[in-house]
Amino acid sequence: MAAMRGTLLGLAGSALAVAPALGAGGMAAREPPATVLWFALFTIAGLSLVMACRRWWLPLMLWVPVAFAVSVIIAELADPVIGAAIRDELGGFYVLQADLCAALAITVPLMFANMRFGRHDDRKKRPFSR
**Predicted local confidence at residue 29, as pLDDT:** 84
Task: Give the C-alpha separation, 62 to 75, whole Å.
Answer: 20
Query: Whole-model pTM?
Result: 0.69
Asked if residues 123 and 56 have their Cβ atoms less than 8 Å apart, the reply is no
Average pLDDT of the residues of the chain: 80
Q: Mean pLDDT throughout 36-47?
A: 96
* pLDDT tier for residue 12 given thresholds of 50, 70 and 90: very low
* pLDDT tier for residue 16 given thresholds of 50, 70 and 90: very low
* Alpha helices in 19-91, H assignment, sequence order: 34-54, 58-78, 80-90
Task: Give the C-alpha separation, 69 to 82, whole Å.
Answer: 17
